[in-house]
Every structure is written in structure tokens, then in C-alpha cells.
Amino acid sequence: MTLRLGLPKGRMEAGVLSLLGDAGIRVRPGARGYRPDVSLPETEAKLLKPQNVVEMLAAGSRDAGFAGADWVAELEADVIELLDTQLDPVQIVAAAPGELPDRRIVVASEYERLARAWIAERRLTADFVRSYGATEVFPPEDADVIIDNTATGSTLEANGLRVVEVLMQSSTRLYANPRALEDATRRRRVEDLVLLLRSVLDARQRVMLEVNASAECLNAVVAALPAMRRATVAPLFGNNGYAVKAAVPRDALPVVIPAVKAAGGTDVVVSRLAQIVP
């Protein structure tokens, strides 16, 4: 049974292809540019705009696919979130040149449903104008406020806009069509894909730390390591101490390495991990 995968074209594409590649899944351009070859057995993929991935998942023509949470919210799509990759994080914000004027205003956005919901929640008197990209250039002549996504806020700032309100957080996520998960074979294929991708994401958060320790300081060194379960300990050749290793959080290294050294550890080696499967 063929698994039908939707891949995002554009801003999300590089991060998703890198994630798949690190999971051992090669995605290579096919003869037709929007239908790449995928190394997963019995899998066919299509490159689509993220909003189209959501639409195709909801329609059932794709079994699983990557898209932003913003477009799932905008389209109110009946899809199931399987994995938040936390790639390409953005905020959906309302932004304006200054305070909102006390009159009928114009709101511009690619996100019509989200924009209209914001207008209603704010009880504003407003007209909606759909944009098709470059929404940040609308104010002040063509709109009073925009609803748009922003990663750093630099584009908004460059156009003289400030954030009035944050509507939601979004990132690249893996979604599935609910009906696809009702089929046992497809469900297993999708769950296997999630397992592979999560193993890479978990590995990106940790590193393997290896350290040598004498018998006298072994307990102190092990206690200094925030391992996933327990540190691995093995005797060195000639019973001249112990080799200790643990997969530790990457962002803990500035604390862990000095702590390990203070506990008496020597010959500290830190290496990257490719995948972690608990």
C-alpha cells in the first residue's frame, strides 16, 4: 500500500528535507520537479505549498504531510497533528504603524479567517482586504493593520510596523488525514515515519559525553551526568579506572563539563548523535 506524502515547498522545504535526510530518508528531484523520488519503500511524494498540503490532507488525497500550524488554523482543517518539529517557528501577529485609529479600519492579510476572527474578538469596525504576499507594505496607505507571520520581527520593523497582538504560535508540523490512520497498514507506516523523525529531533537536542574516571571519583562523575536513564560504565583496559558515557542535553554542556571535571573526570570527549530511539 503506497503512502502518499505531502512535502512543503518554499520556506519550510529546506528544514523538512534536512530532517528527512538525517532520518535516512533521501528525497531527490524527479523527472517532474514537483514529484521527487523518496527512498522510503512504497512511498510517493508531491511538493506543494503548505496551505495546499493542508487542503490535500483534509481532502484525503495525501495521507501525511508537513505544514504550518497557522494554515491548519486558518483553514480549520480536519487533520491530526502527529509531530511538532519546531522547525521554522513563527508568530502570527497583528501589526500596525501605531495605535489603532478610532474609526473604521482596513485589515490586510493572507489569513482571512484568522483576521476576521481577530476583528470580531476585538469588536472592531473594519473592512478586510486579502493580500497575496508582501502584506507588510500595505500600511499606512492601503491598510491600517495587518495580520501576518513573523519570525524575528525585523521585516515588520523595517516597514515601520510594531506588533499590536500575538494571535498564535506556529511551526512546521507533521499532520495526517484521520481516515488514513483508520487503515492499519497506513497507520503503521505513518507511525514508523514519526518514530524516525522524532529520533532525529531528539538527537539534535543531545550529545554523547564520554569521560574517564577513577574508582574513587566514579560515583561523583556519574552523579554529575544528566543521562537519559543511567550512565553507561565500563572498566578501562587493565582495570585502570572506568569509561563513563551518557547522552546529555546539549544546552546543559556549559554546566555539565565543569561539573564532571570538578568531580575528578578526565579525557572528556563530546560527540554528536544522529538518532535516538528510546
Question: The C-alpha cell of 46 is what?
Answer: 508531491
> Grid coordinates 508582501 are at which residue?
134
Local structure of 39: helix, strand or coil: coil
- Please choose, from the candidates 59, 24, 71, 69, the residue with its C-alpha nearest in 3D space to the C-alpha of residue 43: 24
Q: What is the pLDDT of residues 167-204, one digit of tens each?
A: 999 999 999 999 999 999 999 999 999 999 999 999 99
Geometric angle at alpha carbon 40, from 33 and 275, rounded to 5°: 115
Tell me the domains of the chain and their CATH numbers: 3-86+173-203 (3.40.190.10), 91-170 (3.40.190.10), 206-272 (3.30.70.120)
Pairwise CA distance, residues 74 & 114, whole Å:
6
Decide if pLDDT at 29 tops 90: no
Local structure of 116: helix, strand or coil: helix
The pTM score is: 0.89
Q: What is the pLDDT of residues 68-83, one digit of tens each?
A: 999 999 999 999 999 9
**Is 64 in contact with 177 (CB distance < 8 Å)?**
yes
Q: What is the pLDDT of residues 35-48, one digit of tens each?
A: 999 999 999 999 99
Pairwise CA distance, residues 212 & 252, whole Å:
19
Consecutive H or E run containing 35: none
**Is 167 in contact with 118 (CB distance < 8 Å)?**
yes
